[in-house]
Copies of this chain bind each other. A is one copy, B any other.
Amino acid sequence: MTLKFTLKKTHGKARRGELHTAHGVIQTPIFMPVGTVGTVKAMRPDLLKTELKAQIILGNTYHLFLRPGHARIQAAGGLQKFMNWDGPILTDSGGFQVFSLSKLRKMNEEGVEFASPYDGSKHFITPEFSTQIQHALNANITMAFDECTPFPCTEAEARTSMELSMRWAKRSRNAFIQREGFGQFGIQQGSLFPNLRKESTEKLLEIGFEGYAIGGLAVGESSEELHHAAAMAAELLPHDKPRYLMGVGYPSDLIKAVLAGIDMFDCVLPTRNARNGMAFIQSAELGGVLKINHAAYKADDSALDPTCTCHTCTNYSRSYLHHLHKEDEILGHMLLTHHNLHFYLNLMQQLRDAIEAGTIDSVAKDLLAQVR
């Protein structure tokens, strides 16, 4: 196996596993902080490991390809060495960002042409090139290159898009260079259509990957649609490989998806919202969210989340964080980012513990009443 995955325990559909990579073992279910351009924004990478116990982070191929360039990062010894993070890294394929962030896109069977938003320079990304870029970045988990199916779409549109992505998945796999402790995930598509998700899964299994992602969700559908589709999609995937629900989501989304059998998550919400002053906290009263800019916190010297054990909550008050936010101070972004990432990572720890203890149903129910 190039990327060994073992299921330690299951309870209902929820799974407790271990994913072995060349840069360490990942305990699943797991949340992966997003490090877009080679930095989890406002977090020192060593503290991400020592204080937050992050086990794997995500890098964005699209951004790193444009700046500083994958050749540069390869010359520096890979993304781990470049950014001083010695743990595992998953990179996306760049597909989603090409479709959502770049201009002048032209797509054909071969790949996608796009213009850099930095300097207008034109680039052509194919499944092969995306895979090569991720290899140069030294990603422990490489994602297959796929098309971002628009939402909403007709079944015919979803089929055309899915079938293209499956041809690209095959080409991505052919371009992937096997190394011990490194692997590649295929991405299931098919929008909200069960028959397409099933066909997509069959094609991916025929190719064979070290793990499988659920793509094309969290793109505008309702929460009910998301969870219905994610549960249905997870159901189709093999038991012996990790399952990754891409770009999801709020804490409650993670809990529900873990119950549905998902093992891996990534999302910018904890980091991005921190910089906007939104703290995730465990509080039924506040609906799981505290907006630090609220005037009520100006003179509130209590901890951000009195039940939280993170560096921010054990050392700083709501009033101080309110003040830093009002002043747009970097330290405010640092401290809220720290807390929000702790919240997400600690949530996953609670879910892992509960699966092991066989208490996941009641723990999930309790948590769902207190988080956003």
Contacts and interface: CB of A to CB of B under 8 A. Distances in A.
A298 interface: yes
A204 to B, nearest CB: 34
A330 B334 contact: yes
A127 interface: no
B68 A298 contact: yes
Contacts of A326: 67-68
A323 B84 contact: no
Contact of A319 (B43, B46, B82, B330): B82
Interface in A295-333: 298-299, 301, 311, 315-317, 319-320, 322-324, 326-327, 329-331, 333
A83 interface: yes
Given A37-B327, A39-B324, A76-B301, 17 more contacts: A38-B324, A39-B327, A39-B329, A39-B330, A41-B330, A41-B331, A42-B330, A42-B331, A44-B335, A46-B311, A72-B319, A75-B299, A76-B317, A76-B319, A82-B320, A82-B323, A334-B334
A290 B298 CA distance: 40
Interface in A50-68: 67-68
A76 B38 CA distance: 38
A312 to B, nearest CB: 10
Which 4 residue pairs across A and B have the least CB separation, nearest first?
Answer: A42-B330, A39-B331, A68-B323, A84-B315
How many chain copies does the complex carry? Answer: 2
Contact of A301 (B75, B316, B317): B75
Name, among A38, A84, A301, the residue most crowded by chain B CB atoms within 10 Å (CB to CB): A84
B319 A68 contact: yes
A59 B32 CA distance: 38
A298 B38 CA distance: 14
Given A298-B68, A320-B76, A320-B83, A43 B315 contact: no
Nearest to A77: B301
Interface string A12-41: 000000000000000000000000011101
29 contacts: A37-B323, A37-B327, A38-B320, A39-B324, A39-B327, A39-B331, A41-B329, A41-B331, A42-B331, A42-B334, A43-B331, A44-B331, A46-B315, A67-B323, A67-B326, A68-B298, A68-B319, A68-B323, A72-B298, A72-B299, A72-B319, A75-B301, A76-B301, A82-B317, A82-B319, A83-B320, A330-B333, A330-B334, A334-B334
Nearest to A40: B331
Contacts of A322: 68
A326 B118 CA distance: 11
Nearest to A327: B37
